């Protein structure tokens, strides 16, 4: 327990966070790349054809993991926002703002692939369905968090606190997205994974395997991209600190600094 607490406090310190996470970047990148290649080949070419949707269902191997990530990343942003607003942790600020563009990207992919899937399945690219509309609102929330921060970028600490308020308020949208197909009449299908008989979820392992692999791949990609961005954020906002000078000089080849 003491080691866990010590690790938590170390990660809360910008120089320790920068140093520790530097060792994670390469493994996260290669895991994300390897799993993405395997998952896409397995899902797009090797998985069996769906008996109702045919080959058009294969877009779920991109759409569903992206949708899961759009919610997961916003939850991370909301938690980091609480830590930023209450305890003013610089590392939490870095994680929050580093996560925003990644989450917005996954949300945009979710909406785009959902529209491409919707046309052959439902006969329309877009319907003001509860799930679709709440996912669109999620994209606006990502944009809102980034926009608020950018409006006060001359004072990063103030900008991060104001952006955290938007992030915290937006958490209310997550359960709405998750349960929208149950709370309201919806053309959108229910959960994509279910082990219960009579459900519409995927139970065939040959279809489920690439979906789970892609879910893991997107998680590793998020960790890699978020940590890379968070480290840059800390270097920029802490540029006057001595640890940044040492980190930058230490990253240069010998003889590169005069």
pLDDT in tens, 96-113: 999 999 999 999 999 999
| 141 inside domain | yes
User: What is the count of structural domains for the chain?
Assistant: 1
Q: Do the domain assignments include residue 49?
A: no
**Residue 221 belongs to a domain:** yes
Tell me the per-residue pLDDT of 172-208, one tens digit each, with 9 for 90 and over: 999 999 888 777 666 666 666 654 444 456 768 889 9
Integer Rg of the chain from CA: 21
In a domain, 162, yes or no: yes
> Mind listing the pLDDT tens digit for each residue in 23-58?
999 999 999 999 999 999 999 999 998 877 778 889
Of the candidates 162, 3, 192, the one whose C-alpha atom is nearest the C-alpha of residue 81 is 162
Cα–Cα distance for residue pair 42/44, rounded to 1 Å: 6
Here the tokens at position 147 are: 């926009």
Domain extent at residue 100: 59-189+213-238
Instruction: Note the pTM of the prediction, 2 decimals.
Output: 0.90
Domain assignment present for residue 160? The answer is yes
pLDDT > 50? residue 258: no
């Amino acid at each position: 327990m003491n080691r866990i607490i010590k690790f938590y406090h170390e990660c809360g310190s910008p120089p320790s966070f920068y140093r520790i996470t530097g060792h994670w970047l390469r493994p996260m990148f290669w895991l994300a790349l390897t799993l993405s290649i395997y998952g896409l080949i397995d899902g797009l070419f090797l998985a069996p054809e769906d008996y109702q949707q045919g080959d058009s269902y294969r877009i779920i191997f991109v759409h569903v993991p992206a949708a899961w990530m759009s919610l997961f990343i916003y939850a991370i942003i909301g938690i980091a926002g609480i830590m930023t607003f209450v305890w003013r942790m610089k590392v939490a600020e870095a994680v929050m703002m580093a996560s925003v563009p990644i989450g917005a990207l996954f949300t945009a992919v979710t909406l785009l692939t959902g529209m491409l899937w919707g046309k052959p399945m439902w006969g329309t690219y877009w319907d003001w369905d509860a799930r679709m509309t709440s996912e669109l609102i999620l994209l606006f929330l990502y944009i809102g968090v980034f926009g608020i921060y950018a409006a006060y970028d001359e004072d990063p600490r103030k900008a991060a606190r104001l952006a955290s308020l938007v992030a915290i308020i937006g958490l209310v949208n997550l359960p709405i997205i998750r349960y929208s197909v149950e709370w309201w009449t919806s053309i959108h299908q229910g959960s994509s994974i279910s082990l219960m008989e009579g459900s519409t979820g995927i139970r065939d392992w040959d279809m489920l395997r690439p979906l789970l692999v892609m879910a893991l791949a997107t998680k590793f990609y998020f960790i890699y991209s978020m940590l890379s961005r968070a480290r840059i954020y800390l270097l920029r906002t802490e540029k006057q600190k001595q640890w940044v000078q040492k980190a930058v000089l230490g990253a240069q080849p010998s003889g590169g600094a005069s």
